[in-house]
Amino acid sequence: MTDTAAFPLRFFVQLCSDNTAFEAHLARRVSLNMNEVRKSLEDSKGLEIIVFTRHLVIVRIGRAEATLSRDGRMLVRRVANETEATQLVEQMLSIILKSIVKR
């Protein structure tokens, strides 16, 4: 399990019980405005929104996929290891944090 204390928003990454994906969860509770999340993700280059609902968004970055829930939990698939999953989570959270700060 990776603990990212150095990142502005602390989160943890661990392998899911079925060993096919990594789960990331924030250290504190949040409630994301999914419409704002969608806007910030649409403005970002290098990713594609596959599915959007008011409860979750599924994004493809390269060959990896991330499912982001309104409560900040993330499921990361199609990555080689925990380090790659952590980098993807940091990238996603950075995009989301920028949109929150500038609005």
Query: Is the pLDDT reported for residue 64 higher than 70?
Result: yes
pLDDT digits (tens, 9 = 90+) for 77-93: 999 999 999 999 999 99
Task: Quote the percentage of the chain above a pLDDT of 90.
Answer: 66
Which pTM value belongs to this model? Answer: 0.85
Asked whether 68 and 74 are in contact (CB, 8 A), the reply is yes
Which structural domain, as residue segments, surrounds residue 46? 2-102
How would you classify residue 90: left for phi > 0, otherwise alpha for psi between -120 and 50, otherwise beta?
Answer: alpha
pLDDT digits (tens, 9 = 90+) for 29-62: 888 999 999 999 998 888 999 999 999 999 999 9
Q: Domain tally for the chain? A: 1
What whole-number distance in Å separates Cα of residue 2 and Cα of residue 86?
Answer: 8
The CATH number assigned to the domain holding 92 equals: 3.30.310
